[in-house]
Amino acid sequence: MTTGDASAIPATADPPQHVLDTDRLTLRRLCGDDAPFVVELLNDPSFIRNIGDRNVRTLDDARAYIANGPVAMYERFGFGLFLVMLKETGTPIGICGVLKRDALNDIDLGFAFLPAYWSRGYAIESATGVKAWAALVLGVKRLVAIVLPANAPSIRLLEKIGFRAETTVRLSDCGDELLLYGCALDGSAPDE
């Protein structure tokens, strides 16, 4: 697959693969049909400020991002970032999942939500679900998470679900200094 090839991920004929449900949310694999949502999320000022500008401006850019990011990670590792939807309506509200980055030894938890869905417990609900899924389905014994020091809401979320600050890291020589949080997983189901 060529990097940036938007035709590499067509609109889906089959439903995307379901990953997990929580009380209020459904998480599934991203697909080409999710391009409009991905454009919206990745261009939100909070996403650019806290995660970075992915230069995804068009539907073709979003399809290429999905193909070369999440879908490539699903194919390589069997996991990645998942679309988070409200269970009741199917409305996409964010992404949450686990990633394997070359610069980190451990698998890391990632999440981002549209601001309209902040402060409703959705991020913590999906992150707790993904954490339990990683332990039970993938057999992961430890997760990490990286966060900008100024991103206080994400830091609070990580601490609420059992992550603790360990060190600082840079994902590249010219990248921002990030806080690295870690969490041992015991394989138990999340608290209801």
pLDDT lower than 70: segments of the chain: 1-14, 187-192
Q: What is the pLDDT of residue 172?
A: 87
Q: Of 149, 145, 177, whose CA–CA distance to 160 is shortest? A: 145
- Which superfamily, per CATH, for 6-184? Gcn5-related N-acetyltransferase (GNAT) (3.40.630.30)
Looking at the DSSP bridge assignments, the partners of residue 85 are 26, 92
- Distances in whole angstroms, Cα of residue 143 to Cα of each of 28, 46, 187: 20, 24, 12
The pLDDT mean for the chain works out to: 90
pTM for this prediction: 0.88
